[in-house]
């Protein structure tokens, strides 16, 4: 009787408890998530994409004093790693935001119903933003999302036609862990932040996700298909590896 009952009992969850707090690293105040895990035998520290948050996985029942001591010991490591993520100050008048790899100076037009548009004034690339100044970051994010769709939809259509595969839908998201995804039934999603990258990188991302319509893996056949759709794949991958975290670090909240 007892062995049979034991089989029916669900396994205990690996993650038992999660707490949220903040931590001061240099001159940055970062959100910190601490998660207990019954399988953890030591503390592991992870910097979230964009350097905007930290996550600790700790053994069950670890004292807060031990967590604090661990964080104190790793302050130097954190400072070094976070140095490549500049503190974002772009979302203000006079700041700079990249659009298709070109830096644009942000100008608040002051027009309450004004559109957000990229223009060239006296040879300088400018992003003019209307509405209330308090909503500037939100309006820039909405503009980038719209521009990303304008770029990605025709690129996806062209690459999909090349391999003869249908695309069911295209969705713009603000993901942190990946730049895009492809479902088995032809739904593609992209991080709209990619529109801040050069056009060749945007094209690569479109080709990458379209290639998954035929090869749902990252095997040799997939990469060969990806390169055939986008000959500049390797250079674009390198660019994303070097600069992608900086795009994730920009705060549009």
| Domain containing residue 176: CATH number | 3.30.2010.10
pLDDT band, very low/low/confident/very high, at 251 (cuts 50, 70, 90): confident
pLDDT at 88 over 70: no
**99 pairs with which residues across the strands?**
102
Least confident of 23-27, 83-87, 112-116, 135-139: 83-87
For residue 188, is it within any domain? yes
For residues 141 and 245, membership in a common domain is answered with yes
Q: Is residue 101 part of a domain?
A: no
| pLDDT, position 27 | 66
243 domain-assigned:
yes
- Whether 9 shows a pLDDT value over 50: the answer reads no
Q: Is residue 64 part of a domain?
A: yes
Residue 109, domain member (yes or no): no
Q: Are residues 49 and 151 in the same domain?
A: no
- Say if 189 falls within a structural domain: yes
Q: Count CA atoms within 13 Å of residue 12 on its CB side.
A: 9
Question: What per-residue confidence (pLDDT) applies to 17?
Answer: 78
Range of the domain at 233: 137-249
pLDDT, residue 11, reads 47
> Do the domain assignments include residue 125?
no
Same domain membership, residue 243 and residue 149: yes
In a domain, 216, yes or no: yes
Q: In this model, does residue 238 exceed pLDDT 90? A: yes
Q: 26-35, long-range: CB within 8 Å, 24+ apart, which pairs?
A: 26/79, 26/82, 27/87, 28/82, 28/87, 30/54, 32/56, 34/58, 34/67
pLDDT at 24: 82
What phi, psi does 91 have (nearest 5°)?
-85, 60
Average pLDDT, the chain: 88
Mean pLDDT of 166-178: 92
Q: Is the pLDDT of residue 10 over 80?
A: no
Q: What percent of the chain has pLDDT over 70?
A: 91
Query: Do both 231 and 142 map to the same domain?
Result: yes
Q: What is the per-residue pLDDT for 12?
A: 46
The total number of structural domains that make up the chain: 2
Sorting pLDDT into bands at 50, 70 and 90, what band is 216? very high
* pTM for this prediction: 0.72
């Amino acid at each position: 009787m007892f062995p049979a009952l034991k089989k029916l009992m669900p396994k205990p969850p690996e993650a038992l408890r999660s707490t949220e707090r903040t931590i001061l690293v240099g001159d940055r105040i970062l959100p910190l998530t601490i998660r207990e895990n019954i399988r953890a035998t030591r503390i592991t520290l992870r910097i979230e994409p964009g350097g905007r948050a930290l996550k600790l996985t700790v053994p069950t029942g670890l004292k807060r004093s031990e967590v604090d001591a661990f964080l104190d010991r790793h302050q130097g490591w954190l400072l070094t790693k976070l140095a490549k993520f500049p503190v974002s100050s772009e979302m203000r008048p006079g700041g700079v935001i990249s659009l298709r790899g070109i830096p644009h100076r942000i100008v608040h037009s002051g027009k309450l119903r004004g559109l957000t548009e990229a223009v060239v004034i006296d040879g300088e690339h400018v992003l003019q933003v209307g509405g209330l100044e308090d909503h500037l970051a939100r309006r820039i994010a909405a503009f980038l999302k719209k521009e990303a769709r304008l770029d990605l939809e025709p690129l996806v259509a062209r690459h999909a036609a090349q391999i003869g595969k249908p695309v069911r839908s295209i969705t713009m998201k603000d993901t942190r862990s990946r730049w895009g995804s492809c479902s088995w039934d032809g739904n593609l999603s992209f991080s709209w932040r990619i529109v801040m990258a050069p056009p060749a990188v945007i094209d690569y991302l479109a080709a990458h996700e379209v290639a998954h319509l035929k090869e749902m893996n990252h095997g040799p056949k997939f990469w060969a298909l990806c390169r055939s759709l986008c000959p500049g794949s390797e250079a674009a991958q390198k660019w994303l590896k070097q600069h992608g975290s900086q795009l994730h670090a920009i705060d549009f909240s």
